[in-house]
């Protein structure tokens, strides 16, 4: 069953998703992925999910499927083995617990690299491992027999993803994520120094103001006639007004190969990435936006100042008919404890965090692409705000749901609940991608959500009545919109955001890098590019707005950064570039884009 959701989920789509959620246990059982979870057990697990009480990360998984068998191990150990499929509808993450009674209890986070074609369950009582079922055979995988068990060896390898069962499973190990000097210092100040957040803010305002501003260099004169023919499979060009013969600015820091001279590029148009089908690059200067857009919605968007009007912005579009999107937590961020931002009356002293947890253990976040996905990955980019900034201090959202901490889901595991009113990108079990402002009715989708990330409030929302995209209601509200920046509302800085553009035949996920912008400037640019919905990502530094593309030619990978300075976030070894997120663990969360392939 496939439910394609347009930007702004319709009532029909929600109804279909709810029906699917009621049917999914039987469907999974028929597919051999997991036995049906009894309705009464689902109800109890849903109650645990909703409860305002301290809980474990497993109790936060309302769709989990649990198996238990008696087990024996090396040295005469006798005990119980428990296997928890975190979300059988996604079928990717498992927690295996060996309980040897007085001899100890240990849990392992297992990943299924082929969730659509491979089922994992426990074998018969006394079995030394799990059973792996594919379409044509069943494989017994020994994990805990003997004294030096396969699990012990995988754990001692210290690999982020340690292969088990000849690569049919991975053990996710805790590893240390890479941090830049900026990240290391700011984390230290925020975690260990009283008033550290104020120090970070002061340094940012005094030394980082407009540090990444780019105005470009003069390019060729405009000579394209009106009525330019549009390529039907490309993203829609921006609604720009460029007087004939005017010399517009062109990028000087663009690090992506477009197969032609920079001086020949025109703002607002899309150019295919050389060697990477389905990816396109464009650039913009807000001063060129059609005046009807630039001056429309008076009061809903602040006027743009001279700096952000002239600043260059870069955009990358990914064709969602050819690509899929995923989300991964960093080793350290975002966290699941309390943010200090919400008012005191929103913080329940009985709870270790807004969802009743302050750790995701025994689940492991390891800040890099799974080996199962790395060969198909064509891009990565930094995710959203850290937990300390991912909640509201002012406004209506600060006064409900414990301050409305930003939620996130990875591989079907709810690591922080999705909160109504927040801008959300999510990926369903069929790989379809959507963005919307979350509502409580949308919780009907939870059993089908593979990945999701919330990040503040909407920059742009789609108005179904008018068929137009409009600025989010809080774009001009610094506090209630939680737009960060300084306390005196100086909001202009380097920023990143995402939007969805839909043409007659395609949907595109568009990443935007803004070299010096306020939320209002982001809105105007995304409106000019015909986006239906847009959300903020992160801000203030290149490590927070990083994006890299991976162009493959045979066994070679060419790493290309949207802005050349982002290359300093990667590593190198033997003159080879080791890209962030793809080659080594990172402390920050990120999105990744992969080529669509055969189901795994």
Is the CB of residue 118 less than 8 Å from the CB of residue 167? Answer: no
Name the DSSP letter for residue 177.
P
The alpha-helical segments, DSSP class H, found in 208-286 are none
Q: Which residues are within 8 A (CB) of 258 and not within 5 positions of it... i.e. 6 or more apart?
A: 265, 271, 272, 273, 274, 281
Helix (H) or strand (E) holding 47: helix 39-50
List beta partners, residue 122: 130
Q: How far apart are CA 461 and CA 294, in angstroms?
A: 17
Burial of 30 (0-12, 13-18, 19+ CB in 10 A): exposed
Alpha-carbon torsion angle 144, 145, 147, 152, nearest 10: -20
Q: What is the pLDDT of residue 187?
A: 58
Interstrand relation of 531-539 and 493-502 (parallel, antiparallel or unpaired) = antiparallel
Is the CB of residue 511 less than 8 Å from the CB of residue 315? Answer: yes
Q: How far apart are CA 314 and CA 162, in angstroms?
A: 38
Q: How far apart are CA 135 and CA 600, in angstroms?
A: 11
List beta partners, residue 313: 284, 514
Q: How far apart are CA 380 and CA 393, in angstroms?
A: 30
CA nearest 71: which of 94, 103, 41, 112? 103
Is the CB of residue 118 less than 8 Å from the CB of residue 94? Answer: no
Place of tokens 């913080």: 347
Question: What backbone phi and psi angles, to 5 degrees, belong to 241?
Answer: -115, 105
Q: What is the pLDDT of residue 147?
A: 84
| pLDDT tens track, the chain, 600 positions | 333 333 444 444 444 444 444 444 444 444 444 556 788 999 999 999 999 999 999 999 999 999 999 988 877 888 999 999 999 999 999 999 999 998 889 999 999 999 999 999 998 888 899 999 998 899 999 999 988 899 999 999 989 999 999 999 999 999 999 876 666 556 555 554 555 455 445 445 545 567 889 998 877 666 554 555 678 899 999 999 987 777 778 899 999 999 999 888 999 999 999 999 999 999 999 999 999 999 888 789 999 999 999 999 999 999 999 999 999 999 999 999 999 999 999 999 999 999 999 999 999 999 999 999 999 999 999 999 999 999 999 999 999 999 999 999 999 999 999 999 999 999 999 999 999 999 999 999 999 999 999 999 999 999 888 888 899 999 999 999 999 855 445 689 999 999 999 999 999 999 999 999 999 999 999 999 999 999 999 999 999 999 999 999 888 899 999 999 999 999 988 888 999 999 999 999 999 999 997 666
Q: What is the pLDDT of residue 28?
A: 46
Q: What is the pLDDT of residue 194?
A: 53
Residue 575, CA distances (Å) to 144, 180, 255, 571 in order: 41, 20, 18, 10
Q: Which two tokens stand for residue 24?
A: 């999914």
Other Cβ atoms less than 10 A from the Cβ of 469: the count is 23
Is the CB of residue 237 less than 8 Å from the CB of residue 230? Answer: yes
């Amino acid at each position: 069953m496939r439910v394609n959701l347009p930007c702004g989920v319709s009532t029909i789509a929600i109804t279909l998703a709810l029906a699917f959620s009621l049917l999914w246990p039987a469907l999974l059982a028929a597919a051999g992925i997991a036995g049906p979870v009894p309705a009464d057990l689902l109800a109890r697990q849903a109650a645990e999910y909703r409860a305002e009480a301290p809980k474990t990360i497993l109790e936060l998984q309302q769709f989990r499927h649990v198996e238990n068998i008696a087990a024996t191990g090396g040295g005469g150990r006798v005990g119980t083995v428990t296997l928890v499929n975190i979300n059988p509808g996604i079928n990717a993450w498992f927690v295996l617990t060996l309980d040897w009674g007085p001899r100890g209890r240990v849990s392992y986070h297992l990943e299924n690299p082929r969730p659509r074609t491979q089922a994992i369950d426990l074998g018969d009582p006394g079995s030394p491992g799990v059973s792996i079922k594919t379409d044509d055979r069943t494989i017994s995988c020994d994990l805990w027999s003997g004294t030096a068990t396969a699990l012990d060896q995988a754990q001692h390898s210290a690999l982020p993803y340690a292969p088990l069962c000849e690569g049919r499973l991975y053990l996710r190990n805790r590893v240390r994520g890479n941090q830049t000097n900026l990240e290391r210092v700011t984390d230290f100040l925020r975690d260990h120094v009283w008033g550290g957040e104020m120090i970070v803010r002061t340094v940012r305002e005094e030394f980082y103001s407009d540090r990444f501003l780019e105005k470009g260099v003069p390019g060729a004169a405009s000579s394209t006639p009106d009525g330019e023919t549009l390529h039907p499979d490309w993203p829609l060009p921006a609604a720009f007004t460029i007087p004939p013969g005017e010399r517009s600015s062109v990028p000087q820091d663009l690090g992506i190969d477009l197969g032609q001279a920079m001086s020949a590029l025109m703002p607002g148009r899309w150019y295919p990435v050389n060697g990477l089908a389905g990816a396109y690059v464009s650039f913009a200067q807000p001063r060129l936006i059609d005046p009807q857009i630039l001056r429309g919605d008076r009061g809903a968007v602040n006027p743009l100042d001279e700096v952000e009007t002239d600043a260059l912005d870069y955009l990358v579009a990914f064709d969602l008919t050819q690509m899929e999107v995923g989300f991964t937590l960093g080793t350290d961020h975002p966290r699941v404890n309390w943010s200090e931002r919400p008012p005191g009356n929103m913080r329940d002293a009985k709870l270790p965090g807004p969802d009743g947890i302050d750790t995701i253990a025994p689940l492991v976040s390891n800040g890099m692409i799974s080996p199962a996905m790395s060969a198909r990955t064509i891009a990565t980019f930094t995710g959203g705000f850290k937990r300390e900034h991912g909640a509201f201090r002012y406004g209506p959202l600060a006064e409900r749901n414990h301050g409305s901490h930003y939620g996130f889901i990875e591989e079907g595991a709810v690591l922080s609940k999705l909160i109504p009113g927040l801008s959300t990108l999510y990926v369903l079990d069929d790989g379809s991608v959507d963005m919307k402002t979350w509502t409580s009715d949308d919780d009907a989708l939870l059993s089908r959500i593979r990945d999701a990330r919330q990040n503040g409030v909407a920059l742009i929302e789609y108005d179904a009545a008018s068929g137009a995209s409009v600025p989010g209601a809080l774009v001009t509200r610094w506090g209630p919109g939680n737009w960060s920046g300084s306390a005196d509302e100086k909001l202009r800085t380097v920023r990143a955001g995402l939007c969805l553009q839909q043409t007659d035949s395609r949907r595109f996920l568009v990443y935007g890098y803004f070299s010096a912008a306020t939320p209002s400037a982001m809105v105007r640019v995304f409106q000019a590019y015909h986006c239906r919905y847009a959300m903020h990502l992160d801000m203030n530094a290149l490590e927070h707005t990083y994006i890299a593309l991976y162009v493959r030619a045979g066994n070679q990978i060419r790493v290309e950064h949207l802005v050349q300075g982002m290359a300093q976030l990667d590593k190198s070894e033997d003159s080879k570039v080791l890209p962030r997120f793809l080659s080594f663990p990172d402390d920050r969360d990120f999105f990744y884009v992969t080529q669509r392939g055969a189901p795994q």
